[in-house]
Copies of this chain bind each other. A is one copy, B any other.
């Protein structure tokens, strides 16, 4: 159940109440005036507590911490060079894979020129086939970090495995959890025990509730710096696009949850010439940010070449995105 105390209720009364519940063995979460008692359907209140209560519900979703019911205010993630979920739209760009120190640096400069403040690039790659390129590993992480530092950007990179969490934590500003690992609960728990922000990609067949419950695994382990990525779902409509871009999910997630929502038009389409219109659509929904793949020679990319934007196309796309963003923020 979730109890909302009145604004005027004293902090110590709320603290004491929470403490009493914890001693009774209840898992208790608190967010300002809101207190969640996991699994409880009824609770005994003192007279003073009753007076302090504004409202109570036992109809909360299973993703309590992730819900707006528990935390009405937006989560804002602050990084050295970027803010996600605040007033600013946030651009994240880079190649699918880190391919070399020189290449990631060149791509970082392009990304930055378009207005990106986070540099993406995979050093450990989840590939459908075991015979495909699996990533540069730690050497890739180093190159990625150096390229970001050289250009004044933050790093976002994928972690596929709980045994890599400590290593990747040394290099990244944001952990990315890929779509295929969205319900790798061991991994979710592991990143939940760090204090590094997590970008959680929606799985190909994940409902909105599945995604928010996956976020809850991270939050319940103590890490509340979470952003949600819509990157396309799998449907019958796979003739001309890799996935179906479920932009409806953006306002739905914003209604249900306080975490920032980011869109990925690269994976959601899988075709570079569809990325710009769908990126425009993404910013127009009101998403907090975007992740996009770029490459100077897509035909030679180590992975996902067909969806990568060449630098000139990326820069033109960014021009359009920032103009729409500026327009929308003027309202």
A: residues with CB less than 8 A from B are: 27, 38-39, 62-64, 126-132, 160-163, 180-181, 183-186, 203-205, 207-210, 213, 216-217, 220-221, 233-241, 244-252, 255-256, 268-269, 273-274, 277-278, 280-286, 320, 323-324, 327-328, 331
Cβ–Cβ < 8 Å partners of A247 in chain B:
245, 247, 278, 281
Residue of B nearest to A217 (CB): B130
**A234–B205 CB distance below 8 A:** yes
Chain B residues whose CB sits within 8 angstroms of the CB of A132 once the complex forms: 62
Inter-subunit contact B277/A281 (CB<8 Å): no
Interchain CB contact under 8 A, B160 and A162: no
A210: nearest chain-B partner, CB-CB: B128
Q: Is A241 within 8 A of B236, CB to CB? A: no
Report the minimal beta-carbon distance from A102 to chain B, rounded to whole angstroms: 25
Asked if B324 and A205 sit within 8 Å, CB to CB, the answer is no
Q: Which residues of B contact A131 (CB under 8 A)?
A: 27, 38-39, 62, 64, 216, 220
Known A-B contacts A210-B128, A244-B246, A320-B331; A236 and B235 likewise in contact (beta carbons under 8 Å): yes
- Among B185, B213, B233, B239, which residue has its beta carbon within 8 angstroms of that of A160? B185
**Smallest beta-carbon distance A323→chain B, Å:** 6
A41 to chain B: closest CB distance in Å? 13
Contacts of A181 in B (CB 8 A): 183-184
Note all chain B residues with C-beta closer than 8 A to A273.
Answer: 251, 255
* Bound: A27/B132 CA distance, A: 13
Chain B residues with CB under 8 A of A62: 128-129, 131-132
